[in-house]
Amino acid sequence: MIETVHLFPVLDQKLIELLKSLSYDDWHKTTVARLWSVKDVASHLLDGNLRTISGSRDNYNVPPDREINSYGDLVLFLNKLNNDWVNATKRLSPAVLIDLLESTGREYSLIMSEQDLEREAKFAVAWAGEQTSKNWFHIAREYTEKWHHQQQIREATGKQGIITEQLYYPFIDTLLRGLPHTYRDVDAKTGTAIAINVGVDTPFLRFLVKKADGWKIENEFAGEKNALLTIPPAIAWKLFTKALKPEEAEADIIIEGDANLAKIALNLIAVMA
């Protein structure tokens, strides 16, 4: 289990401090989300808070306005949902967005703290290939959403502050849970292992291991490693959230051992895209 519930208030406080520090020009800077400005990303974060409060606290859910028969259908639906919200809230001022994010953020964090982590989640973590997910994984996925959108704002405005062991490691640890799905069609001998290092100041290792029943992500592995992949945090978060293409990231990544096997990991996309 990846524990993230206790981090939501911390991350939210960081967000509010960040947004209150921004100038008028900062709010209109372009982010790595390309079509979205800093203000658009902040609005999207508000949308996430409000949808969670409506669905979890009030059990109010609006069904999709179309049939969803595939992963691609779901992505298209979510993209339209997100863009509709961002376009509708362009008329809101930065100050209004901050006020709403501050109040809804507290309610959101409270809802997360009240969840039974071992129960089946309402929404599966689809990018990890799961049909059903435990609440702890769903909540960790929600944490990655909040973390990487805040980091998009920080990247655009030159205000770093959340690539820390406390806040970054749970984020990247959750994203790496999608690697078995990325390797699902890769044939290899049982026992084949790839070490992935995404540490900040000291190594933070996870191991992708081929078992008899498929690829698994492990926190520890004592056997021989076929490859070691070292990805700097400043690259990893963008790579795995589709803000950076594998070929754009390769110059900053160190691969030891079987490069062909290790490079497949660079195709992990841990967002709905």
Q: Indicate whether 74 pLDDT > 90.
A: no
What is residue 228's predicted lDDT score, i.e. its pLDDT? Answer: 98
Do 194 and 225 meet the contact criterion of CB atoms below 8 Å apart? yes
Cα-Cα-Cα-Cα dihedral sign, residues 58, 64, 70, 71 = negative
- Section 202-225 average pLDDT: 97
What is residue 63's predicted lDDT score, i.e. its pLDDT? Answer: 82
What is residue 85's predicted lDDT score, i.e. its pLDDT? Answer: 95
Q: Indicate whether 236 pLDDT > 80.
A: yes
Cα dist from 53 to 71, 82, 143, 217, 262, whole Å: 25, 16, 15, 32, 40
**Do β-strands 193-197 and 227-230 pair in parallel, antiparallel, or remain unpaired?**
parallel
Closest CA to 172 of 245, 241, 218: 241
Q: Indicate whether 13 pLDDT > 80.
A: yes
What is residue 272's predicted lDDT score, i.e. its pLDDT? Answer: 78
Q: Indicate whether 273 pLDDT > 80.
A: no
Measured CA to CA, the distance from residue 48 to residue 101 in angstroms comes to 10
**Do β-strands 205-211 and 193-197 pair in parallel, antiparallel, or remain unpaired?**
antiparallel
pLDDT: is 46 or 201 the higher one? 46
- Indicate the average pLDDT of the chain: 96
What is residue 184's predicted lDDT score, i.e. its pLDDT? Answer: 98
- Section 90-100 average pLDDT: 98
Closest CA to 113 of 143, 150, 148: 143
Measured CA to CA, the distance from residue 144 to residue 175 in angstroms comes to 8
- Section 17-22 average pLDDT: 99
pLDDT: is 156 or 64 the higher one? 156
What is residue 92's predicted lDDT score, i.e. its pLDDT? Answer: 98
CATH architecture for the domain at 178-267: 2-Layer Sandwich (3.30)
Band of residue 65 on the pLDDT scale cut at 50, 70, 90: confident
What is residue 64's predicted lDDT score, i.e. its pLDDT? Answer: 82
- Section 135-140 average pLDDT: 98
Cα-Cα-Cα-Cα dihedral sign, residues 48, 53, 56, 61 = negative
Edge to edge, what strands does the sheet with 254-257 contain? 214-218, 205-211, 193-197, 227-230, 254-257
Locate the domains of the chain by residue range: 5-162, 178-267
- Section 93-105 average pLDDT: 98
pTM for the whole structure: 0.96
Could you tell me what percent of the chain has a pLDDT over 70? 100
Measured CA to CA, the distance from residue 88 to residue 224 in angstroms comes to 54
* DSSP symbol at 120: B
Q: Indicate whether 43 pLDDT > 80.
A: yes
Band of residue 88 on the pLDDT scale cut at 50, 70, 90: very high
Please tell me the CATH code under which domain 5-162 is placed.
1.20.120.450
- Section 126-140 average pLDDT: 96
